[in-house]
Amino acid sequence: MGEKVKIRPFEAAKVPTCEQDRGFDYYYDKLRDDNPEELRVLLKTRTKAVHLGNMSTYDEKQKSFRGYAQLTSDGVFYYQCNLVPLVIIPGEIDYLSRQKEIDREDMGKVLSSLDWLHHNQSIDIGPGITGVFENQEGGNKQAWVKYSAEKAIAEARIYQFLTRMTWPDQETKLYKERAISHAEFLAEAAEHSFAVKYDAAGGWINNGWLSYGRAVRALNEVFKITNDNRYREFAIKYGDKLIETLIDLNGPYFRNEEGVPCFDSDIIADPIKGLIQCHNLSGDKQYLYEAMKLKEWLIVKQLKDGAYPLRIFQDPELNKATPRLEQLRTILEGRTESGSALNLVGIASPGDVANITISLIELWEATGKPSDIIPPINKGLAYCLYTQNMDKTSPVFGLSPSWRPTIGKLSPSWSSVDSTYSGDQGGLIEQMYLMYIDKLFG
């Protein structure tokens, strides 16, 4: 998890009141009310709260967002969760780009966090080919397609944003070059049978998180800033591999560690987004058709308060602890051996729900704005609204819990059930709020 630092003490772990007490039903009804201006104000208020929460995790010594906090009875501990800023950064770009005047200090925090990631979590595997690694036991470095794609997206988005701001060319060029180096890593992985990791000691690995949809998104972003058709072609290759995998596995079981394929809420939104982008790049409606099939598979799994299951295994025997989806409400953790893909069966985090909701908004727009996608969009949004910490006396004001803070009921319980807050929730929720305002309000 990295270094643990006590940032600031406070009297006790306060239980959020006010807006939290309203619960899911209150927000879901509000989303269906014919009062768009009131809803717009609510979402703008919540977006600013996320922004403030993200900024509160910035570490002046590290020059990066810590992004991961544990709320305890005698203080707040922030952890250096090394890769969390990858998800915070795009949300902050979206937020800052909508401000009349950009706060240069906040912008500096975003840029320095991305620089910190580059200098501390990137590894060159060849000339002009850079992956992003996750620390392994024993200091071994494995560069992931998943994280490399995320960083390519962040670098490309920063480059586009700074270019619009007429930032000095010498500085903007750096972000473009880094985005390209990560895109080259994705291309190299595709050339090695669509490997998902590169082990510095052992070469390419094919089992793990099958992040083909995220690779599509990253390659498309780099295509936009380079106009190099090669990246467009690799994006489509990843899209074709995604469809092939869906057919082979008979569903979106994109987490495949230890030979145990499963659906994971962390990597279901990217396939939908990636297929939409493949349709936009190629004009082939088959990609859109496959995205619609994924949507149909997914929304029947949505729970009453807008959440989704965290994991569903391809082998039904592995789901026998939760034979009905409703029973997932009463199971927060179901652990097996350490390090196993079977380490958690439960409820998706607010960040995953936000990411899924973003993908549904994109699909809604791409398919002519059909009314049947609106209910799952609104349910996902309501879930994120009612789980966001809006207690202004809380040290983690504006942030959202890493896990669903309820057991067996539809109103949140902010006790020992969940005391961790992760910035990757904030980055995605920030993007979702802003997209909802843009797309559904115009």
Q: Give the residue from 85, 90, 3, 64 showing the smallest Cα distance to 422.
A: 85
pTM of the model: 0.89
Nearest to 381 by CA among 307, 292, 303: 307
Q: Which one, of 149, 295, 136, lies nearest residue 209 by Cα?
A: 149
341: closest CA among 146, 207, 249? 207
Q: DSSP letters of 139-195?
A: G-EEEEHHHHHHHHHHHHHHHHHHHHTT--HHHHHHHHHHHHHHHHHHHHHHHTTS-
Residue with tokens 């390209």: 180
Q: What is the DSSP string of 202-227?
A: TEEE-SEE--HHHHHHHHHHHHHHH-
Are 69 and 59 in contact, with CB atoms under 8 Å apart? no
Local structure of residue 416 (DSSP, 8 states): T
CA-CA-CA-CA torsion for 170, 176, 180, 181, nearest 10 degrees? 50
pLDDT in tens, the chain (442 residues): 444 444 433 333 333 333 545 788 999 999 988 788 899 999 999 999 999 999 988 999 889 998 777 776 666 777 766 788 899 999 999 999 999 899 999 999 999 999 999 999 999 999 999 999 986 655 678 999 999 999 999 999 999 999 998 888 888 999 999 999 999 999 999 999 999 999 988 899 998 999 999 999 999 999 999 999 999 999 999 999 999 999 999 999 999 877 778 899 999 999 999 999 999 999 999 999 999 999 999 999 999 889 998 888 888 777 765 444 444 333 333 333 333 333 345 678 899 999 999 999 999 999 999 999 999 999 999 999 988 988 888 778 898 887 654 433 333 443 334 567 777 788 999 999 999 999 877 6
Q: At what angle do helices 212-226 and 269-282 cross, to 10 degrees?
A: 40
3-state class (DSSP) for residue 397: coil
d(CA 146, CA 218): 10
Angle at 391 between CA 385 and CA 392, to 5 degrees: 120
Query: Which of 412, 438, 408, 350 has its CA nearest to residue 25?
Result: 412
CATH architecture assigned to 102-282: Alpha/alpha barrel (1.50)
Domain ranges of the chain: 1-90+301-310+347-442, 102-282
